[in-house]
Amino acid sequence: MFPRRCARAGLCLLFLSLSAGPALSAQSGLAYLGDELRALQADPFANPGLLWVDRGEALWHQAPPGGGSACASCHGPAETLAPLVPALPRWNSESRRLEHLEGLIRQCQTDQQGTAPAPYESEALLALTARLSFAARGRALSNQVAPEATEALARGKAFFYQQRGQLELSCADCHERYAGARLRGDRVSEGMINGFPIYRLTWQTLGSRHRMFRWCNEAVRAEPYAYGAEPYLELELYLRQRGAGLPVETPAVRR
């Protein structure tokens, strides 16, 4: 069924070396890396993602232009927010919406610092996201979902299993059925989100979870959603629950 679809799209070659099905328990993308990238991720002097962590630490202590306070002057060390990270996205019962780390940072920039929020994928937002996620390294992704978010979770799961794009492939087609297979030089992983933001050699920079979702949508020629869009927040919630128990490994290095 998959070969027929990819034959139609002329992409069969991409899926030549199929291996066994998905692993029994959730595995980090780290488990699918070759030795070199694995070593690069583990090396505190060579992991390029750590540059953003350092920039994030500097920004955390820096007052924004225009007279607002630094993040640190209200929050203390970045580590104080570490317990929050593995439980995001989470349901906000006041706004009745999901919120993820990027959104919370941007909200604080607006409400508490009185500055314009850093754009998605900007150096500053990636650096702050990386710094706070780095503080949470080793903490397990939480499986807790507020009762009010049950429907959002179900929509996120439906998104994951829904075929889309000209190639009519779902996230699950690649990240469950074909986890372990080779695709354009990448080894397809289980699509876990515990290493974000990740440094991707393909991008030559750090990228957020939503950038990855957009990339994967575009890979099947589906229209991507905007950064921070509701369907991506729901997907992110589902992926957090799907990968519950995996340790935060930010900044992960990927091909």
Active site residue 171: no
Within 13 Å and on the Cβ side, how many CA atoms surround 224? 15
Smallest gap from Cβ 149 to ligand HEC, in A, equals 15
Residue 152 or 192 having the CB closest to ligand HEC: 192
Among 41, 133, 189, 250, binds ligand HEC (CB under 6 A): 189
Q: Is 136 in the site for ligand HEC (CB under 6 A)?
A: no
Residue 5 or 51 having the CB closest to ligand HEC: 5
Among 53, 127, 198, 233, binds ligand HEC (CB under 6 A): 198
Smallest gap from Cβ 5 to ligand HEC, in A, equals 11
Q: Is 37 in the site for ligand HEC (CB under 6 A)?
A: no
> Which residues contribute to the site for ligand HEC (CB under 6 A)?
29, 69, 71, 74-75, 81, 84, 104-105, 108-109, 112-113, 128, 169, 171, 173-175, 183, 186, 188-189, 191-193, 195, 198, 212-213, 216-217, 219-220, 235, 252, 254
Point out the residues that are catalytic: 216
